[in-house]
Every structure is written in structure tokens, then in C-alpha cells.
Amino acid sequence: MAICYSCHALLNRKNQSWEHIVPSALGGSTKSRRILCKTCNEKAGGTIDQALVAYCRNQLEKFGIQPDRINSSQDWKQQPFTIEMVMMAVHKIIANFYYWKWKPATSILHDDSIQTHFRVVLHFYTEWPLHLIYLEAREQSRWMTGYIELFGEIGFLIKFETALARKNKTALFLQDPVHKKEYLTTAEDQNQIIEFVRQQIQAIESDVR
């Protein structure tokens, strides 16, 4: 049973809404209906999504991506934002991916957990502008790891405390923001990328310790 990530209303045919996993303004294309009710969806686009877009303005310019579906009453580059808003947007991306990919029986990954369970890291390793979302659940751990890389340049690591992390599971998603489509790779490439991502996560974890 899906519940709205923001207001916790039960999602049904009447109030469910399509929400991009990576915001459309950042070159996202894949959508899910398991995250936000219509009302909260309208609010999220105008606030936290715009904060993340403003935060990524250098990358958007560098890769020549014109943000669409942005409330254009003011210049999006001038949009004020706080790191908390950016992290809320990142948290929503991970939660959306989690619900979309693993379709858990209950929705427990709500935004209340953001206060205590996130870490921000800026990370640079490639010029290739791909968005990457990675989820990892470990049987022995009550933590689930979420890692996002935007444009291959900005890395975010989020740890969720969740009762659902009871199986060894990983999921990887790649988005090509320039061509606005999911970036598909072979299983072999995926394994290599996951290896690489795990090294990034370890490096970040040892940095913040």
C-alpha cells in the first residue's frame, strides 16, 4: 500500500500523481506514481525540486541542459535555496527510487527521518554527465544505504534506518540527462559500476567519520 511521502495520505487512483524520479528539470525521464499525492506533488516541484535545480546550476550550464518545467516567475539561477532543501530533494529522489524499484509492502521511508540520517559529500570523479542512483540493503544491518550522483560530479550519501533492510539487495539506476532517457548498460558494466560506487561510499564514510 503506497502512502504519500510528504503528507502520509493513502495513495489511491484519485489522488496519486506521476513524479519524476530524477526531476525533469535535471534531465530526468522515468516517473513513478508511488511517492506523492497530487497536492504535495505540486508543492514539491515549486520548492525543494527548484532548490536542487538551483544547486546544480553550474552543471546544467556546463552540459548545456536547459531546465524545463520550472516555475519561471523568477530566474531559476537566482532561486534561493538552503542545503536542507537540497537534501530534502535528494532524499525524495532516493525514496522515490526505492518505492518504484522494490515496491515495499508498506511505505516507511518518510521525510521525518531526514533530520538524523543524512550526510552530504561533494565528490568529483568523471566528466561524463550521468545521474546515478544506488541502493544497498544488508541483511545484518538496520541501515540502508542510498547513494546519488548528479552529473557524475555531485555525490550524496544518505543512510536510512529501516526495518526493511533485512535482505541483501542492491539496485542501480543510471539516467542520461542530456538525452533525457534511462542509460542502459550490460550486467557486467553494472557490476563494475557497483564496485566503483561501493568504493566511493567507503571513501565518503571514512571522510565523515
Residues engaged in binding Zn ion (CB under 5 A)? 4, 6-7, 37, 40
Which CB atom, from 22 or from 40, has the smaller least distance to Zn ion? Answer: 40
Minimum CB separation of residue 106 from Zn ion in Å reads: 16
Q: Among residues 15 and 30, whose Cβ is nearest to Zn ion? A: 15
Task: Please state the separation of Cα 180 from the chain's center in Å.
Answer: 16
Sign of the Cα torsion 185, 143, 126, 83 reads: positive
Q: Which three cell numbers stand for residue 115?
A: 533530520
**Beta-strand runs (E) in 37-130:** 118-120
CB distance 4 to 37 below 8 Å: yes
Burial class (CB within 10 angstroms; exposed 0-12, middle 13-18, buried 19+) of 74: exposed
In terms of CB distance, is 96 or 175 closer to Zn ion? 96
Q: Give me the least distance between CB of 19 and Zn ion, in Å please.
A: 11
Minimum distance of Zn ion from residue 11's CB (angstroms):
8
Nearer to Zn ion by C-beta: 37 or 88? 37
Q: Quick one: which of 61, 67, 88 has its CA closest to 153?
A: 61
- Least distance in Å: CB of 171 to Zn ion? 24
Q: Pick the closer one to Zn ion by CB: 104 or 183.
A: 104
On whether the CB atoms of residues 198 and 45 are closer than 8 A, the answer is no
State the first-to-last Cα distance of the chain, in angstroms, to the nearest integer.
37
- Shortest Cβ 110–Zn ion spacing (Å): 11
